[in-house]
């Protein structure tokens, strides 16, 4: 076999695995391994990091939002109007109800909050991950860490490992390599170079915005903006947003990622439950008191919300009602890609069959955030990653049965 022009010792001969190889030990990879090992297939899971599911654990530090308990149609709508058919099929097979049942099957009871977001009763991700890894081990799956996939060598996959280069040849392979954000947790997008012409450019999603604040805003850093609505393009969101030293961050912005990336202007409605005429009537005549006191007494406008009006509304017009409903937000665009919670772009679905197998590499499947889709936070990201991983695992299992 010809050897690649690489420094160091020549590559060893490929080791033939008896079953499947899963590359990536995040939620999608572990879900694929669970399906394969549950069907009695030998599975080796290889991950580049020192321990599995690091992004999963980080996302669960403040409460692991597994999914959202809502009707299937509303759940699908969160992925946008161009939901890829393969992702729709995966979510139909493994949606919110199935995620909740899966967690309970691992001994982790769940509950839904007032907004429908579903969390484990244990709250953090670590108990669920421990139970998941224990199940995989009991089903015969094997995990190898610090194994970084570096490409193909003929029909084998090449890995850089602590013991040196390795070549593995599997009867079926699932790639679950993640997106291109949170590099320190393993998602660096470097794999994209191995798929020339097949990857949509990465872009930040579920990201904060950069803002150059006036000095008077410093005392509001860390303060949430509550009871407001943010709008960009055709979308609006009433989630909480936090004022930070570098700009704006929070779930209220995340559903607006796509229009914001495309340059749609962002506006802030400081009183989404009140009509413009109602605001105008409540404001009345100011008299001799300061504007700040007038707004606080008549409308309860204070703190960060009042500061943002001053920041973006000056010079304030005599009629404040339209500005209170449509305050233009001045910002310098999205935070850098590596600081985003997730990414848009990735391996195009056109490179895959409906069963998530690569057209140009039979027996190799792809799943998870490495594919070209996006969704807001709120349980949609994790559910889709697991659903795609399971679908790829089912495809790989069927391929092995051929």
Helix (H) or strand (E) holding 202: strand 199-205
pLDDT of 385: 97
Residue 192 CA: distances (Å) to CA of 5, 146, 197, 345, 372 = 21, 19, 9, 10, 12
Question: Is the overall model pTM greater than 0.85, yes or no?
Answer: yes
- How would you class 292 by CB atoms within 10 Å of its CB: exposed for 0-12, middle for 13-18, buried for 19 or more? middle
* Integer Cα distance of 393 and 152 in angstroms: 20
* Integer Cα distance of 232 and 255 in angstroms: 10
Token pair listed for 187: 């998602």
Per-residue pLDDT of the chain (402 residues; tens, 9 = 90+): 333 343 445 667 889 999 999 999 999 999 999 999 999 999 999 999 999 999 999 988 889 999 999 999 999 999 988 899 999 999 999 999 999 999 999 999 999 999 999 999 999 999 999 999 999 999 999 999 999 999 999 999 999 999 999 999 999 999 999 999 988 998 999 999 999 999 999 999 999 999 999 999 999 999 999 999 999 999 999 989 999 999 999 999 999 999 999 999 999 999 999 999 999 999 988 878 899 999 999 999 999 999 999 999 999 999 999 999 999 999 999 999 999 999 999 999 999 999 999 999 999 999 999 999 999 999 999 999 999 999 999 999 999 998
Which residues have CB under 8 Å from 354's CB, separation 6+?
A: 85, 86, 89
* Integer Cα distance of 317 and 306 in angstroms: 15
Please, where in the chain does CATH 3.50.50.60 lie? 15-204+339-401
Q: How far apart are the first and last CA of the chain?
A: 27
- What DSSP designation does 108 have? -
Q: Within 10 Å of residue 224's Cβ, how many Cβ atoms?
A: 16
Residue 272 CA: distances (Å) to CA of 57, 231, 239, 266 = 35, 11, 12, 15
What's CA 234's distance to the chain center, in Å?
Answer: 21
pLDDT of 4: 36
Residue written as tokens 């699908």?
76
- What DSSP designation does 128 have? H
Q: Of 77, 93, 76, which Cα lies nearest the Cα of 31?
A: 93
Helix (H) or strand (E) holding 393: helix 380-401
Residue pair 55/185 in contact (Cβ under 8 Å)? The answer is: yes
Assigned CATH for 15-204+339-401: 3.50.50.60
Q: Of 378, 351, 393, 288, which Cα lies nearest the Cα of 84?
A: 351
What's CA 151's distance to the chain center, in Å?
Answer: 25
Residue pair 385/26 in contact (Cβ under 8 Å)? The answer is: yes
Reduced to 3 states (helix: H, G, I; strand: E, B; else coil), residue 208 is coil
* Integer Cα distance of 207 and 396 in angstroms: 34
Q: Where are the alpha helices (DSSP H) in 203-302?
A: 257-261, 276-283, 291-299
pLDDT of 116: 94
pLDDT of 139: 97
pLDDT of 11: 67
Secondary-structure breakdown of the chain: helix, strand, coil percentages, each rounded to the nearest 5? 35, 20, 45
pLDDT of 6: 38
Helix (H) or strand (E) holding 384: helix 380-401
Token pair listed for 52: 């599995």
């Amino acid at each position: 076999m010809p050897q690649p022009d690489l420094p160091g010792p020549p590559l060893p001969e490929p080791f033939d695995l008896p079953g499947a190889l899963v590359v990536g030990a995040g939620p999608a990879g572990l879900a694929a391994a669970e399906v394969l090992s549950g069907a009695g297939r030998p599975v080796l899971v290889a991950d580049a990091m020192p321990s599995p599911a690091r992004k999963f654990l980080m996302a669960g530090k403040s409460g692991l939002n597994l999914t959202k308990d809502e009707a299937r149609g509303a759940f699908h709508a969160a992925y946008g109007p161009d939901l890829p058919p393969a992702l729709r099929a995966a979510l139909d097979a493994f949606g919110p109800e199935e995620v909740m049942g899966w967690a309970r099957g691992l001994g982790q009871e769940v509950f839904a909050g007032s907004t429908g977001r579903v969390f484990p009763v244990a709250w953090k991700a670590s108990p669920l991950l421990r139970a998941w890894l224990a199940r995989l081990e009991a089903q015969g799956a094997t995990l190898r860490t610090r194994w970084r996939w570096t490409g193909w060598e003929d029909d084998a996959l090449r890995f850089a490992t602590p013991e040196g280069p390795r070549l593995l040849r599997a009867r079926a392979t699932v790639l679950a390599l993640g997106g291109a954000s949170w590099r320190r947790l393993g998602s660096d997008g470097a794999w994209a170079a191995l798929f020339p012409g097949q990857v949509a450019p990465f872009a930040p999603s579920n990201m904060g915005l950069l803002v150059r604040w006036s000095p008077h805003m410093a005392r509001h850093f860390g303060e949430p903006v509550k009871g407001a609505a943010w709008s960009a393009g055709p979308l609006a969101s009433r989630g909480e947003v936090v004022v930070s030293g570098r700009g704006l961050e929070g779930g209220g912005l995340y559903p607006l990622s796509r229009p914001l990336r495309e340059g749609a202007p962002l506006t802030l409605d400081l009183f989404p439950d009140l009509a413009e005429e109602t605001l105008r009537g409540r404001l009345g005549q100011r008299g001799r008191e300061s504007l700040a006191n007038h707004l606080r007494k008549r409308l309860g406008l204070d703190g960060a919300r009042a500061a943002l009006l001053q920041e973006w509304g000056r010079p304030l017009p005599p009629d404040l009602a339209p500005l209170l409903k449509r305050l233009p937000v001045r910002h310098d665009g999205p935070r850098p890609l590596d600081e985003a919670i997730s990414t848009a772009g990735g391996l195009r679905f056109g490179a895959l069959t409906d069963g998530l197998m690569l057209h140009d590499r039979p027996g190799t499947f792809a799943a998870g955030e490495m594919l070209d889709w996006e969704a807001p936070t709120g349980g949609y990201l994790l559910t889709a990653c697991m659903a795609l991983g399971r679908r790829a695992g089912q495809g790989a299992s069927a391929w092995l049965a051929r």
